[in-house]
Structure 1
Amino acid sequence: MSITAVLYSHDSVGLGHARRNRALAHALAADLPRLTGQPVRGLLIAGHPDATADSLPEGWDWLVLPGFTSTPQGYASRSLDVSNERLSALRSSTAAAAIKAMDPDLFIADRHPFGVGGELLDSLRWLHSQGTRCVLGMREVLDTPAAARKEWDRIGGASAAAAFYHAVWVYGDPSVYNPISSGEIPAPLATRTRFTGYLSHGRPTDELTDASVRAPKPYVLSMVGGGSDGGRLALAAARAQVPAGHRHIILTGPQMPPADHDRVQRAAAASPDSGSVQVTRLAPHVPQLVREAAAVVSMAGYNSTAEIMATTTPALLVPRATRRAEQPRRARALAAVGAVDTLPAEELTAQALSRWLADAVTRRCDRSAVDLDGLARIGGLAAAELGLGPAARRCARAGSPAERPDPVRGPEWASSQDHVLTAAPPYPSPAHAAARCAATPLSPSAAETRFDSHVR
């Protein structure tokens, strides 16, 4: 026998959803066989072709749906000249065919329970009829509570999602930011929510190749995620003064518009420090670049932040202030516990970056007060969700102070997250975070070693 998992992400903007699922795939491949005695295989359904640049464990593959993209008027086809209705029907039928062919034991959707325009509903009904365990994976910050409520209302309320999803995994530390206390995760889902910790330690990386980005140490790093809206930050970084004796790597991302990328390159070439500045779009080994950097400047997307948090590299987060309040809220919460510095987008200048870089390269950052071991818990949570393996439940409960009856499976099964329902504010005090996260169960080196054999 084997365990089959299907993970879905819609990927209308950036690659954050697919990259989270890719990290989960590596965690499941690393831990589920050990916990259950069964091999695991899987399929990642994504919505952007760039997702497939990232490797998967043996026995896993990608399925890329024709893409939607987000516009000021709403979702629209990324490439195909078809209506939203036809594109949605194509994506829905393709996803449903793949899911039925895989017949998964476990289904995990990232962030959007029903996909774009309800494209997952047919699949979810079929999965429900087959008894498949379904999990909704959520980043720790959604948006302002008011905006989150509107999103839930648009899909019929959180109770509509609760009809299909047996569990919610929040990829964060509730002592840093608690979306239940803030109201971003409503009551129908709160009782089945488990906080995993940030997906930081043990994130998969690809092997270095001759084409990999390298720079003599010491260097500083600026990165803007996928890059679709990172032009302003990358341009300021290109104009910033490079700390004495350092080089500066600027990653513009695969999705930065060509005009913005060219503008960054011209600014770097015109800089007095041009000989020390390297501008490139791609770097498949970003976690290693971050770990070895003297300092890093970044937007505040979930995955970039998670990669930063796994290191001691000083970080300045410049959160995107458009579309959603997610990034400013994340940056503010992490700054409150001393894990990062933050600069509001409206205060971004080359001079501000120059001052921060000059100071940051003289220090390191201790982030041990934050729970960064989410990937070490994913296997145990999945095994417990499937009811497999004697060690699974203990692993899922590790570090939890109490148990609460699960509304789906009844009082005999515990969610192990009693503390998530407390009325704590979404933003903590540094002392509270330090007390909550005084110890972590897996060192960064141990977590990375555990994943080595699963990264290709």
Structure 2
Amino acid sequence: MNSNISVTSLSDRAICNKEKSMGKRWRIVLYSHDTMGLGHKRRNLLIAQNLGISLKNVDILLITGTNKSNEVETVEGIDCVTLPALYKNSEGGYEARRWQMSIGEIVKMRSHIILATIQSFKPDILIVDNVPKGAMGELKPTLKYLKKETKTFRILGLRDILDDPKTVEEEWKKAKNEKIIRNYYNEVWIYGDPNIYDAVKEYKFSADILEKFRYTGYLDQRTRLEFTSNKSTFNLNNKSLALCMVGGGQDGADLALTFAETTLPKDVQGIIITGPFMPLEVQKELFDFAKTRSNLWVWKYVKEPTLLLKEAKWVISMGGYNSTSEILSFEKRALIIPRVNPRQEQLIRIQRLEQLGLVDMLHPDNLTPESLTKWLKTEKKFPQVHKNIDFQGLKKIPLYLSNICDQIENKNFSNKKVLVNI
């Protein structure tokens, strides 16, 4: 734990339980802009599901840019508002995903929906995923409203790695993100372990906002299995499973097609999950390829992919935060092919993890069927992830929020922190 960042001291019993709250029902909103892939929504959904069973008397609302066709099962007290979909192109710019509408028009519509939802729901706590102002600044009216008109406690949640430090410095300066944090957020959570990547140190955030930062640890993705009613295993006909994951699939075509051409070891069943955003022409090519091979299945969508991940002997994947967290949580032998453009985030993450011996990395420039075949033939031990990385995020977050509920009840939004033992 970084010496400048600490976490709140609390008992294991949540302050927001029935006895403490005396019947008050707390309202929590989790916003994710969801312009590329499924990771942002799945991260917020896992947090929401966990809070739904960890805290009593809570109503939780997800505001998301990913439609409900990608929804997974939730627990009681959780609902969702879906925004018109945005799409981030290969240059990092935003476009409407489905409508013939200008970016200005759709962002204005999304912004109105967000503000109206917040005004109607009246949350006690808002948790924003990764983008301080939301996509294209769509959160600014809501943040201004909350600060001026409400006592809503506002939290920014960041993934472990944003990009290389120089790029983050330039982008955050241009977007005035530190000013937004300074003026509109009570806390900033980093869903990571500073022993893997100390974002506060690497990105050199201004000293006057450091008091707002705290690390949660990574989120243990094995918890997802508690929230699915489908506990059945997959019929692999006594074969070992080699699983290829490409997240939402928007930029996973090269990996999926290369895996489809890979020679698998004997008695191994290969499965590719294309994701809902993979281009249709690539999906068709993959499905046609699978028709010629009995040891290759191609699935467009799996309601809860961690059920497959649990069964896998080998995993070949891209290096997004969510996919990597899932692989690490289940301590799988994995070969990660990180995205290197337009951001270095995945490359930095996987390089750090490879240095610790927790995953193997293959640069996308070296991606070939032969390189995947060679890796699948190499015997490796299962990585000891949980001995090396803090995966206590889903235990700490309810405690943090319990403390915030206490602050709200006592009308004391304090950022003072002391250590907590988990």
Query: Which TM bucket (shorter chain)?
Result: 0.7 to 0.9
| 2:236 corresponds to | 215
Shift of residue 81, structure 1, vs aligned partner = 2.1
Q: Is the Cα–Cα contact under 8 Å of residues 193 and 415 in structure 1 kept in the other structure?
A: no
* 1:23 equivalenced with 2:28 (yes/no): no
| 1:228 corresponds to | 250
- Tell me the alpha carbon deviations over residues 91-123 of structure 1, each in whole angstroms, 9 at most, x when there is no partner: 111101111111111100000011122111111
Aligned counterparts of 1:27 and 1:74: Cα–Cα separation in 2:
33
Shift of residue 134, structure 1, vs aligned partner = 0.5
Q: Is the Cα–Cα contact under 8 Å of residues 32 and 40 in structure 2 kept in the other structure?
A: yes
Shift of residue 389, structure 1, vs aligned partner = 11
Q: Percent same amino acid at aligned positions?
A: 32
| 1:179 corresponds to | 199
| 1:12 corresponds to | 35
2:349 counterpart (325, 330, 333): 330
| CA 184–142 in structure 1, closer or farther in 2 if over 3 Å, else same | farther
Aligned residues: 391
Aligned counterparts of 2:257 and 2:308: Cα–Cα separation in 1:
20
Report 1:278-289 matches (<5 A). 278-289=297-308
Aligned counterparts of 1:51 and 1:415: Cα–Cα separation in 2:
42
Amino acid at match of 1:236: T
Aligned counterparts of 1:353 and 1:184: Cα–Cα separation in 2:
38
SS at match of 1:45: strand
Report 1:360-399 matches (<5 A). 360=379, 363-367=381-385, 368-387=387-406
Shift of residue 385, structure 1, vs aligned partner = 2.3
1:204 counterpart (206, 224, 233): 224
* 1:143 equivalenced with 2:163 (yes/no): yes
Shift of residue 254, structure 1, vs aligned partner = 1.0
Shift of residue 287, structure 1, vs aligned partner = 1.4
Q: Is the Cα–Cα contact under 8 Å of residues 133 and 386 in structure 1 kept in the other structure?
A: no
Aligned counterparts of 2:217 and 2:197: Cα–Cα separation in 1:
11
- Tell me the alpha carbon deviations over residues 248-300 of structure 1, each in whole angstroms, 9 at most, x when there is no partner: 11111111011111222333445xxx111111111122112112211101100
Q: Is the Cα–Cα contact under 8 Å of residues 160 and 192 in structure 2 kept in the other structure?
A: yes
Aligned counterparts of 2:269 and 2:94: Cα–Cα separation in 1:
40
| 1:298 corresponds to | 317
| CA 89–268 in structure 1, closer or farther in 2 if over 3 Å, else same | same
CA root-mean-square deviation: 2.3
Aligned counterparts of 1:382 and 1:344: Cα–Cα separation in 2:
39
| CA 188–299 in structure 1, closer or farther in 2 if over 3 Å, else same | farther
| 1:166 corresponds to | 186
- Tell me the alpha carbon deviations over residues 377-417 of structure 1, each in whole angstroms, 9 at most, x when there is no partner: 11011112232699xxxxxxxxxxxxxxx9x726xx31649
Q: For structure 1, which runs of at least 5 residues remain unmatched after alignment?
A: 34-38, 391-405, 418-439, 442-456
Task: Please say which of residues 201-210 and 312-321 is displaced more in the overlay.
Answer: 201-210
TM-score norm. by structure 2 comes to: 0.87
| CA 201–12 in structure 1, closer or farther in 2 if over 3 Å, else same | closer
| 2:16 corresponds to | none
Shift of residue 187, structure 1, vs aligned partner = 3.8
Shift of residue 342, structure 1, vs aligned partner = 0.7
Task: Please say which of residues 138-147 and 73-82 is displaced more in the overlay.
Answer: 73-82
Aligned counterparts of 1:57 and 1:29: Cα–Cα separation in 2:
6
Q: Is the Cα–Cα contact under 8 Å of residues 276 and 301 in structure 2 kept in the other structure?
A: yes
Q: Is the Cα–Cα contact under 8 Å of residues 66 and 91 in structure 1 kept in the other structure?
A: yes
SS at match of 1:69: strand
1:132 counterpart (147, 152, 156): 152
Q: For structure 2, which runs of at least 5 residues remain unmatched after alignment?
A: 1-23
Aligned counterparts of 1:236 and 1:288: Cα–Cα separation in 2:
24
Deviating above 6 A after TM superposition, structure 1's stretches of 4 or more consecutive aligned residues are none
TM-score norm. by structure 1 comes to: 0.81
